[in-house]
Chain A
Amino acid sequence: MTDAEASRQAEERSSEDAKLLRRMAGGEHDAMAALYERFSRPLYATALHILKDGAEAQDIVHDVFITLWEKAAIYAAERGSAFSWAVTLTRNRSIDRLRSRRRRAELLEQSAPGDLGLQEGNAGTGADETATAADQARVVRAAVATLPPDQKDALELAFFSGLTQQEIAERLREPLGTIKARIRRGLGKLRDTLAPRL
């Protein structure tokens, strides 16, 4: 697929998402169901990957769709795609919950034995994603694969772990300035690579 075709498909996809949001703003439940079909898998996978807990991931995805429904009318397409908005909501809420859970876990860890299985999640099945979502995932993975491993690791930790800059630096045992530079270069290159599809 050429960049032009990819760009055209991405535009069509974003346009369709924006239409669904406008219809949702008009109270159309069918539009909501259609948007759910388009977004639910990547959003659920993201929440599950961050939280490692199926029940909590379901709560997050549920709340995100409620927010999309309630705020569909104030969505501004010029500020970014609907998918980007939904992912941002999902990630932020998952990380908020993850940090809250870590604080609770730190308290609980002082008294609870590790064999209670509090950290164990119920992994979803996830083998039945749609062809479009699978195709987009392949493209993103291919783009990330072109990044140097240190940039890839820094980006993945920054996106999924809920760690602060300093915590990422400590986890990767690198100076904070190095981590910032890796994130800047990695994200910039990813944006350039995915530009036709964004």
Chain B
Amino acid sequence: MMDEHQAELAALFALDLLEGAEKTAFEASLAENAELRRHVDGLRAAAAEIAHLAPPAEPPAELKARVLTSVSGRPIARPAPAPLPPLIPFGSLIPWAVAACLAIAALWAGRQSLNLRSENEAMRDQQHLAQVDLTLLRTRMEAERLVRQRQYDDAQQQLAEAGRQTHESRAELARLQGEVAQARQELALAVQQAEAAGRQVAALTVKLKQEGDLAQYKIATLASMLGNSPKAIAVAVWNPMEQEGMLKVSQLAMPASDKDYQLWLIDPQYKSPVSAGIFAMDPATGEAHVKFKTDKAIDTIAKFAISLEAKGGMPEPHGPIVMLSQ
């Protein structure tokens, strides 16, 4: 009776898939188990049929001739000889012995001839194998040569590519350096233009400021209110941005020694006129040029007035108004 493990080993053995100790052990079982041998023979026969699954292929016609040529004169293995028959009397064997010797000699000569042929065939096989090895060696060397050639070609290409890239990089560097120099020149020019434009802007700003300031200036002429100086005239100019002004007075009589002329600015936001200070007439020219400021901030000037006050001036007007803007 065969167990499942043996059946498995038999299938693997039939397909020559057993190896090593497993194969040796199974062969030992096979030698002493006839049923197992029959089972394996059946599996081997079935396995051999798998050969029919190979795609059909026709062997070349010359193969048959090659096979038949090879077998001509080739020795055939013989089964082991049967046991010798019982001995018979020596005298009657002499003619047979002579004949046997001749036959043995003939057989020996024939065997020698066959052996020589076999050796010749073996040498041919060895020569064939050597040629195969030589072909493989040549193929391998050719493969190595191709690999080296390919590596050399690749290295040459890489070198040429690196040279080309270096050349391009240098050209690119030179181009970039030129662009940098040009950019620097353009930048210097732009800085110059910007500075010139800045100066123009500053000049225009000053001019505009001046024009704006001038437009805001309050300019007024003051007429005499006195009979002793009917021709007296004064011009007052007020710069509201700077909160300062200029007064020019002509042909106004000199005040008494205990008196001073005092300038007043009349701003509607204040109840009283705002003092712009006292001033003195130049006895040589009969004129006065006065730059004045106020203690209070002036928003709008409605009038300029000049009064005659006590020496040193007053916080508020007490004396007579001698000149008044129109």
Contacts and interface: CB of A to CB of B under 8 A. Distances in A.
Contacts of B136: 104, 108
Contacts of B295: none
A191 B46 contact: yes
Contacts of A158: 15, 17
A61 B47 contact: no
Interface residues of A, number: 85
Contacts of A98: none
A70 B46 contact: no
A168 B15 CA distance: 13
Contact of A69 (B11, B17, B56, B71): B71
Nearest to A59: B128
Interface string A105-123: 0011001110010100001
B51 interface: yes
B95 to A, nearest CB: 29
B215 interface: no
A46 B206 CA distance: 110
B48 A87 contact: yes
A172 interface: no
Given A62-B67, A108-B140, A111-B144, A144 B50 contact: yes
A137 B8 CA distance: 26
A189 to B, nearest CB: 9
Contact of A156 (B53, B77, B139): B53
B138 to A, nearest CB: 11
Nearest to B118: A70
Contacts of A57: 57, 59
B268 interface: no
B143 A42 contact: no
A116 B136 CA distance: 12
A42 B6 CA distance: 31
Interface in B281-309: none
Contacts of B11: 180, 183-184, 187-188
A71 interface: yes
B163 interface: no
Interface string B33-73: 00000000111111111111111111110011011101110
Contacts of A197: 49
A156 B50 contact: yes
B64 A159 contact: no
19 contacts: A33-B68, A41-B58, A41-B59, A45-B54, A45-B56, A61-B67, A62-B70, A74-B78, A108-B140, A112-B147, A129-B56, A137-B52, A184-B12, A187-B43, A188-B43, A191-B42, A191-B43, A194-B45, A194-B49
Interface of A: 24-25, 27, 29, 32-33, 36, 40-46, 48-50, 54, 57-58, 61-62, 65-66, 69-74, 79-81, 83-84, 87-88, 90-92, 95, 104, 107-108, 111-113, 116, 118, 123-129, 133-134, 136-137, 139-141, 143-144, 155-156, 158-160, 164-165, 168, 180-181, 183-184, 187-188, 190-191, 194-195, 197-198
Given A46-B51, A46-B54, A91-B16, 20 more contacts: A24-B76, A29-B71, A36-B68, A42-B52, A45-B51, A49-B57, A62-B67, A62-B70, A69-B71, A71-B76, A72-B76, A84-B45, A88-B44, A112-B146, A124-B57, A125-B58, A155-B50, A156-B50, A165-B17, A198-B42
